Amino acid sequence: MSIPSETVIANALLRLIATRPAGSIVAGHAYRELAAVLPDLTIDDVSSFRNPTGSIFAWNVRQAVRHLKCEGWLLETGDQAAHGLWELSETGHQNASAAFPDGDELLAEMMAVDQQSRNGEGGPANGLPGS
């Protein structure tokens, strides 16, 4: 399996949301678009189930979103109308702009670090920008 870690997913998600004019994305669209921009992800990876709540990939995406909300990069909303909408906070906007000057090169580097950590070669404890 080549399912990216929470760190790689969080960075890809930030980059994805930062490219949106409104700085937000509907969760259902984000899953599809993330799957499209993570080159090593396969159909089997997306559909391999961890438990009855969803695939391992979906679980990692939810954990990345939870982490980004805890860090204050994504807005936490209790508004039922906004449920399923992931939106950058002011801090998220500032950090995403600073963190992604080179776009695809940075994502490729993050994925390489993720692969190194999977192979036991070390790497940063938390690859999230600004951490």
- CB-CB neighbours of 50 under 10 Å: 13
Domains of the chain, by residue range, sit at 6-118
State mean pLDDT over 1-30. 85
| pLDDT at residue 45, rounded to an integer | 77
Answer yes or no: pTM beyond 0.85.
Answer: no
d(CA 46, CA 40): 11
Q: Is the pLDDT of residue 80 over 70?
A: no
First vs last C-alpha separation in the chain = 28
pLDDT attached to residue 66: 92
**Per-residue pLDDT at 118:** 54
Q: What is the CATH number of domain 6-118?
A: 1.10.10
Distances, alpha carbon 83 to alpha carbons 4, 26, 32, 59, 77, in Å:
25, 9, 18, 17, 7
